[in-house]
Structures are given as C-alpha cells and as structure tokens.
Chain A
Amino acid sequence: MKLNQLDQERLDGKLGKAMQFAMQTIVTAAHIDQVDSLIDISFAHIDACFYNGRAHLDFVNYMLEHGATLAVPSWTNNGLVALNDLSLRDPHASREMDEARQLMQAYVRLGCNPVWTCAPYQLPDRPKLGAHIVGSESNAVSFYNSVIGARSNKYGDYLDVCAAIIGRVPFSKLHRDEARAAELVFDVSKLPQSVLDNDLFYHLLGHVIGRRSGHRIPAVTGLAASCNEDDLKAISAAGSSSGSVPLFHAVGITPEAATLEIACQGAAVEQVIELEITDLQQARRELGVNSERPLAGIALGTPHFSFSEFERLVDLLGERRVQAGLVCYLTTSRHVYAQAAERGWTDALEVAGMKIITDTCTYFSPAINGLEGKIMTNSAKWAYYAPGMLPVEAVIGSLAECVESAVSGEVRLDQWALS
C-alpha cells in the first residue's frame, strides 16, 4: 500500500484516534479491493446519517469525540425522520426515532451540509464530468456516474464518512476508465415514440435493466433526445432497486456515450437486447398488479421530486383537488421545496390536498402516519421496496395517471396501452 506521509501519520495515530480509525477503514477497503493506491475526492454524499440502529450513532459519536473533521464538502442523504416535521416519525414514540434525530444532528455537528436529500444532483454546484467523488445512496451513485460523468463506487455506510474525513478513496473500480465501458446493450429503437414520450417508460426501462444487467455495465440505444434528467433519474433509481447498476450509458445523451463505440471504449458488445412492449408490460406487472381493493393513497417523489416535476404536476392537476379521504404524499428536498414555494406551487398543492414532505421519504418503515393499503406511485423504486417494508400494495403509473387517480379517488390506468 502506497501511503503519503500525511496518510501514514494518520494511520499511526499521530493526528488522533478519529483520523486513525478513518484511515484504517480506508486502508482496509483498499486491501479488500486489492488496490495499492488512493485517489483524492472533491465531494461526498453521506448515507450514514440514515438511521439503521444504535451502531450508527456510536460511530459518529466516536468520530466527534475524537476530533474528526471533514476534508471535502459533504452533503447529507435523507434521514429516517424529518427534522423540520418530527411528527411524521415521532421521536417521542420510540427510542429508535429519537436516535434517528440525534444521528442527523450529529452529522450537522460533524460539518455536513444538511441538504437531506437522495437527489443531491438536483441542487446547484454539483460535481463535474470526471470528478472523483463519494456517492452512497444507490440512485445518486448511478445518476452521478451515468448522467454527470462523475466517478464513484457505491460506498456503504461508514466508508462514506471515513472517505469524507480523509478526502481520499481506494483507486478502484468505477474510478478507473476501464471499469466504465459498456458491456451489454439495451436497444429501445423499436418502441413507438408514444412510449418513449411517457415518463413511466423510464421507470420500467430502469427496472428491466436492473433485472438483466447483473454485474455488467449497460448502454441504452435508441432513446429520444427529449429524454430529460427526470427520466434519467428514473432509470438510475429503478436500475439500482431491481438490480445493482451503478453506471449506465444512454447513447447520444449521457456524457461518456456520444456514440456506442465510445461507450464501449472500442470493445465489442457481449450482448444486445432489443426491448419490446411485452418486456415493459412484464416490468409493470412485477411492480404491482391493480387489485380490487380501494385506492388508499398516492406517493410521489422517490427519488425526491425535482423543480421540473413540480412544474408538470401543477400543470397536470390544474384547478382540481385530491379526492377527499385519499392521502397524497410528495417528497422533495428543502432546496427544491423553496424553489417551488417561490412559484406558489407548494401552497397550491397543499390547498389541493397534497402533503409535501422534506428531509425523508415514504417508502421505508416505520410508515408515515400509518400509511397502508393500496398506494399508487409514479416510482419504480417506491413500488419495488415499499410492499416489503410497509403494509401496502403498490400500483405504478405515469405522473399523469397518478394525478387522474388522485383526483378521481380510484386507480386510472387509461392513458397508456401498457396497462
């Protein structure tokens, strides 16, 4: 292992126990990855602020007590609770929720920028093409790698924090050019334009890519130039829920894929999968079948809603209201919330019967305000995870279908032949 003088002093404990612990963790990760050098990072997105037991709190408290500081700008992922609306998951109701609150506050004390979002790439000053960074939350890792062309492995809890403290990571896997080449292709050029124009398509595409890619890096050919960052967010999130896709290339759209040949770095493609409507129909069924039960609610914003999604939602809803008795949650970041509030959209949506939540998400346990029953969502990620963690069943639809369902109070899948 090649260490510079500073890293060696950290490892030897000359800069305190926190630095030593962080450096030991980085060196151990390098040993496991079988690389002998480290590389500087410029940014970290921290997931360890998301409560997963007392050990999380013990870890950050150890770091704080032993004088840890951060070497690079470090932004926080969602927390388990919403710091600005603790009633959603009440700290007075359980030890876990109280520790979840303490955990989030500890990361603020450590020096993190408290953005509390799983979609940090929607905020200004995001990393640039080629920047080495630390991503942790799976959709954000995929978006940073794929859509921005920044370079991150999928860093788990603790290693994300240790990397932010040291400012360096093992020079392994997706930090290296050769690991970023596309190895198989999903071709969507046979699908009708009406499908490519529908936001649900990108969630279903991501689900299929996650299912079929395994450990290979996929490229997608045939996507329309109209494909936007919300669509690419959907692929990122769905592909890292049904599978583990930390990087995909959208040929002609994403920055390392001007052509298929460039995306493959000149190597031959192992496999080309031509997607048909039936593949997408199957993906939709895998993400939930509309049962006879009454619709109980709508969940939007997994990953966090963007400014442009707010704009579309307000446009689709018009002057109409959510059906009485239906719970309708929308999750977003504080930053995007403030942008939407400036336009008057948050007030309008709240008046129309939607509940807008920041800092956290709705798809994991414990259920927000007892969320249960048949829930409609525009998110493949929500539909994939929530039924395993909450007493819910999911139905997935486009944003337009979710709006029509919210207004009518029953599932409306009448907009698209895929249903």
Chain B
Amino acid sequence: MGAVVSNAVSSIQARVLIPGRASGEALVLDDTLSFWGGFDPAKGEIIDVHHPQFGQRVGARVLFIPESRGSAGTPGGIAETLRNGTGPHAFVLGERDVNIGVGTLVANRLYNMDVPVLVVTLDQMAQFRSGETIEIDRRGLISVKR
C-alpha cells in the first residue's frame, strides 16, 4: 500500500462473516486480544496490562481488531459483553476469526441482536483511525465520515 491521504477513503467493501447493520465511533486496536482474561465483559474494558489499548472501553464502538488470541473463552467474553450492553456495535477483523464470529452469532441469536462481523485486509485496516464515525450496511460496506 502506498501512502493514504487522510480523507481519500470514504468506503471500503469488507467480506461479511456475520451480517448486520451498525454505526458507531471507530476504536482501532493495535494488537490481538483475548476476551477471556484480557477483557472485562461487565464494563467492556480491555484489562490486559500488556495491551496498547489497555483501559479503553469498547462499548458502542465499531471495534477494529487484527484477531482474537489465546483462550477458548473468547466467544463467551464476546457474548457476555454484548448481553451486558457493554459490547461493540460491530467487529471489523484483520483475520477470519471463528471465535469472534461464533461469540457474536450466539449473542445475536440469544438476545435478538444484529451485530455484524466483517473482515478486511490488514492494509485496509491500517486506513482506519480511532474516533472516526463509521457506518456498516448488511452487505458489508464500511463507510467513513471524516
């Protein structure tokens, strides 16, 4: 990828892992995260002290994350934060992550939610910045308002 001018990207077509519609402020994580042990689903807060975004909350954000890490507990952490209302409005992944996909699918089903999980390339992910306003449609089109 060449240099990206800050307002050059208005939309990116992602691949849809779990369909849904969402909008929210972007939170871009610089590292992988375990949603068991590294994350508090009661508060929706990153509690892994080694994580670059330690202390940040994911609630109502469009969460950009390279992928989850580690434990079998990640789907439970995802479903629980969504159940609590502390979870993100959408996930945009850099890898095809089954754990995040399944956790979201279960929460969508059990709690009648519509949280999408999308995947983009890591190069595409690098074009998003925390704080940007994001909209996602059911076909996986990610629109950015800058």
Q: Which of B3-11, B22-30, B77-85, B131-139 contacts A (4 or more CB under 8 A)?
A: B77-85
- Chain B residues whose CB sits within 8 angstroms of the CB of A47 once the complex forms: 72-73
Q: Is B1's CB within 8 Å of the partner chain A?
A: no
Q: Which of B74, B82, B84 contacts A156 (CB 8 A)?
A: B74
Q: Is the pair B41, A59 in contact by a Cβ cutoff of 8 Å?
A: no
Minimum distance in angstroms from A196 CB to a CB of chain B: 29
Q: Please measure, in the bound complex, the distance between the C-alpha atom of A34 and the C-alpha atom of B97, giving whole angstroms.
A: 11
- Cβ-defined contact, A158 with B80, below 8 A: no
Tell whether B64 is near chain A: CB-to-CB under 8 Å.
no
How far is it, in angstroms, between the C-alpha of A155 and the C-alpha of B98 when the chains are bound? 9
The A369-419 residues at the B interface (CB cut-off 8 A) are 385, 388-389
Determine whether the beta carbon of B72 is less than 8 Å from that of A25: no
Q: A31-B17, A52-B80 given as contacts; is B74 within 8 A of A59 (CB)?
A: no
Taking a contact as CB atoms under 8 Å apart, the answer to whether B77 and A52 are in contact is: yes
List the one stretch of B55-63, B104-112, B122-130 in contact with chain A.
B104-112
Contact B107 A55 (CB under 8 A): yes
Is there an interface contact between B73 and A54, defined as CB atoms closer than 8 Å? Answer: no
Please measure, in the bound complex, the distance between the C-alpha atom of A136 and the C-alpha atom of B73, giving whole angstroms: 9
Q: Are B96 and A32 closer than 8 Å at their CB atoms?
A: yes
Q: How far is the CA of A52 from the CA of B106 in the complex (A)?
A: 14
Q: Which residues of B have CB within 8 Å of A76?
A: none
**Which label, helix, strand, loop or mixed, suits the secondary structure of the B interface?**
helix
CB neighbours (8 Å) of B48 from chain A are 388
Chain A positions within 8 Å of B110 at CB level: 55, 58-59, 62
State how many residues of chain B have any CB contact under 8 Å with chain A: 33
What is the CA–CA distance of A256 and B106 in the complex, to the nearest angstrom? 36
B69 at the interface (CB under 8 A from A): yes
Closest to A29 in B: B98
Which size bracket describes the interface of A in this complex? 35 or more
Q: A58–B83 contact, CB under 8 A?
A: yes
CA distance A158 to B102 in the complex (A): 7
A41 close to B (CB within 8 Å): no
CA–CA, A121 and B75, complex, Å: 24
Given A34-B96, A136-B72, is A159 in contact with B102 using a C-beta cutoff of 8 Å? yes
A159 lies within 8 A of B79 (CB): no
- A145 near B: Cβ within 8 Å? no
Chain B min CB distance to A186 (Å): 21
B48: nearest chain-A partner, CB-CB? A388
CB pair B18–A28 under 8 Å, yes or no, is yes
Q: Does A203 contact B (CB under 8 A)?
A: no
Q: Which of B92-106 contact A (CB under 8 A)?
A: 96-99, 101-103, 105-106
Given contacts A29-B101, A59-B110, contact A48 B76 (CB under 8 A): yes
Chain B residues, CB < 8 A from A156? 71-76, 98-99, 102-103
A27-59 residues with Cβ-Cβ distance < 8 A to B are: 28-29, 31-34, 47-48, 50, 52-56, 58-59
- A52-B36, A53-B80, A156-B72 given; name 17 further pairs at CB < 8 Å: A32-B96, A32-B101, A34-B96, A52-B80, A53-B83, A54-B83, A55-B76, A55-B79, A55-B110, A56-B80, A137-B72, A156-B98, A157-B73, A157-B102, A158-B103, A159-B102, A364-B37
Binding site for A on B (CB under 8 A): 17-18, 36-37, 41, 48-49, 69-77, 79-80, 82-84, 96-99, 101-103, 105-107, 109-110
A interface, CB within 8 angstroms of B: 21, 24-25, 28-29, 31-34, 47-48, 50, 52-56, 58-59, 62, 136-138, 154-160, 244, 364, 385, 388-389
14 sample A-B contacts, Cβ–Cβ < 8 Å, listed by A number: A24-B105, A25-B102, A25-B106, A48-B76, A50-B73, A52-B76, A56-B80, A58-B110, A138-B71, A156-B99, A157-B75, A157-B102, A158-B102, A389-B37
